[in-house]
Amino acid sequence: MRSKMLAVVAVVSMLAITLSACGPTPEPIVNTVVVQQTVPVRETVPVKQTVIVNQTSVVEVTVPVPVTATPLPNPEAIIQGVEPNAEITIWTFWLSPTFDDYVKSTIARFQEAYPGVQVNWEDHQATFQDDLRNSFAAGNAPDVINLSVGEGWVSEYATKDLLLNLDDAVPQSVKDLYYPGLWKQQLVDGKNYQFPWYQGIGVELINRQIYDQTGLKVEDFPKTVDGLPALCKTIKEKTNTLCDIRLTVNDLLSQMVYEGNVKVISDDGKQFTFDSPEAVAWLQMYVDMVSDGTVDKTVLMAEQDRTGLDLFVSGKAAFYQTGPNLIREVRANNPGLYGYLAVVQAPVGKSGVVGKGLMGISVKKDTKFPNASIALAQFFTNPRSMLEFSKIVAIYPSTPASYDDPFFATPPTAIEDSARPIAKDIISKLADIVPTIPNKADVNQIVLDAVQQALFNNVPAQQALTDAVTKANALLK
């Protein structure tokens, strides 16, 4: 009987325990976690803590706890005194829509580095120059402007006193980030007005479908400009195609200087000298090519690089000098030609200098927010921003530090990247050797008229240039 009683008590106890297990969990008396610790890192960290889980037992558990980071100085924020809540506008030249993501992400990084600065971005294309002139006239020019160094835009606006003198506005430590030749690539009265941005390397794109018919080897492509007339003659004879060569009609004086090693103005700046024997020899080279009928005259006198590029992309030219970044045009518009492309270094002129820089970023002189504007211009041209840009298109940074990245040591796989291993060496040697030219646009128009007279109107090169010097000198008085 006693054992029966014990059995009943045992069964009831088990049932009670089972039923109690099926009921609601008892509320813990304390469920607050107290962490008296500040951790100067951003990520979630495991922290040991004591948690009382019920009235009777205490256990130790490890739980992830989010903590607030204490901001560290952003290494990219190197411009001091940026105006709080500044709102600035930047104009770029022909980057949208291809590089929208890059520009937007760079602006987002800038805003992390300089919190509170509002950036408005606009991209202008074929009408960039007209838009910019009009905006200056209307008094609403952008604070930060992407200007072409190659086309002489920096000097155009700097001589009109519209840009901020960066030599005086930027500390030496910032200037030292850039190649000295590029920092000084377009001085006006000895002062610099641009942060050097992305650079290009002059390469010759070769269409092997045409070029190979000449029997010449790509490796033997002329190393100097004066080898081009003979090459064009051979191409005309063997393939009946014309050479796709362009005179930079917007800046002929520069072309004279680089290709012909011509001294265009006297040291005191009081007299033009571009009718020297060197200048005549330079012009005569083109006169001979035109009279031989070996060059496409439309491209030769085209105002825009695109005209010559379009001819090459259409597959009708044996070679064309441009930047490797524009090989993407061939791939996009004529994939059949892309497979037949070869790239060699562009021939050098008699000056021996490979060329001048491509793009810069300037700051408007009367901006309301000079420090924020300088910061943005500097940010776009800092080593990290340019390295990231280089990774998406074949452009080259103007900061030596960018080339320390393993990316530049990687062997090229696509033809667009074939200049990458030698880029640092070439970019470090870019320099503007053209002196400041007063009334540059007018003088260039005078030279253009003279060049056309010699090329197409049988006026002797010497006479055309001497007449042009007389007219140009009149502008100096």
Partner 1 sequence: MAKRFSLTPYLFLTPALIAIAVFILFPIGAVCYYSFTDYDIVTPPKWIGLENYSNLVHDPTFWKALSHSLIYLIVTPILIVLSIALAIIINRNLRGIHIFRALFYVPAVSGSIAIGIAWRWLFDAQGGLINGFLVWLGVLKEPLQWLAEPAYTLPIAMLMTIWMGVGYYAMIFLAGLQNVPEELYDAAEIDGASSLQKHWYISVPGLRPQIVFVFVISSLAALKVFEEILVLTNRTGGILDSGVTMVFYLWRQAFRLSHAGYASAIAIALLILTLAFSVFNVRLLERGIEAD
The sheet with strand 144-148 has its strands ordered as: 118-124, 87-93, 144-148, 359-363, 195-196
Which of 304, 333, 410, 470 is in the footprint of partner 1 by CB under 8 A? 304
Cβ 444 to partner 1, closest distance in Å? 9
Q: C-alpha angle 244/246/252, rounded to 5°?
A: 165
Which three-class secondary structure state does DSSP give residue 415? helix
Interaction of residue 366 with partner 1, rule CB under 8 A: no
CA-CA-CA-CA torsion for 267, 271, 272, 277, nearest 10 degrees?
A: -80
157 near partner 1, rule: CB under 8 A: yes
Q: Coil, strand or helix: which one is 28? A: coil
Q: Please, are residues 398 and 418 in contact by the beta-carbon 8 Å criterion?
A: no
Please report whether residue 314 would count as binding partner 1 according to CB under 8 A. Answer: yes
Q: Per rule CB under 8 A, is residue 456 in the interface with partner 1?
A: yes
Residue 207 near partner 1 by CB under 8 A: no
Output 68 or 458, the one with its CB closest to partner 1. 458
Size of the site for partner 1 (CB under 8 A): 35
Q: Is 214 in the site for partner 1 (CB under 8 A)?
A: no
Minimum distance from residue 315 beta carbon to partner 1 (Å): 9
If one asks whether residue 140 binds partner 1 (CB under 8 A), the answer comes out as no
413 scored as a contact of partner 1 (CB under 8 A): no
Is residue 211 a contact residue for partner 1 (CB under 8 A)?
no
Q: Show contacts with partner 1 in window 36-75 (CB under 8 A).
A: none
Q: Is 137 in the site for partner 1 (CB under 8 A)?
A: yes
CB of 302 to partner 1, least distance (A): 5
Rounded distance between C-alpha atoms, residue 167 and residue 191, angstroms: 6
In sequence order, what DSSP letters do the residues of 304-348 get, joined into one string? SHHHHHHHHHTT--SEEEE-GGGHHHHHHH-HHHHTTEEEEEPPB
φ, ψ of residue 64 to 5 degrees: the values are -75, 135
CA 388 from centroid of its chain's CA atoms = 10
Of the listed pieces 95-103, 110-118, 306-314, 376-384, which binds partner 1 according to CB under 8 A?
306-314
Which runs of consecutive H residues, i.e. helices, occur in 367-434? 370-380, 383-392, 420-429
Any contact of residue 445 with partner 1 (CB under 8 A)? yes
Instruction: Specify the stretch interacting with partner 1 by CB under 8 A; choose among 11-19, 184-192, 303-311, 407-415.
Output: 303-311
For 66, 202, 203, 236, the CA distances from 220, given in Å and listed in that order, are 64, 17, 14, 18
User: Per CB under 8 A, does 333 bind partner 1?
Assistant: no
Task: Choose one: 147-155, 177-185, 236-244, 357-365; the region binding partner 1 (CB under 8 A).
Answer: 236-244
| Residue 435, burial from CB neighbour count under 10 angstroms (0-12, 13-18, 19+) | middle
Interacting residues with partner 1 (CB under 8 A): 129-130, 133-134, 136-137, 157, 160-162, 240-242, 249, 296-298, 300-304, 307, 311, 314, 316-317, 441-442, 445, 452-453, 455-457
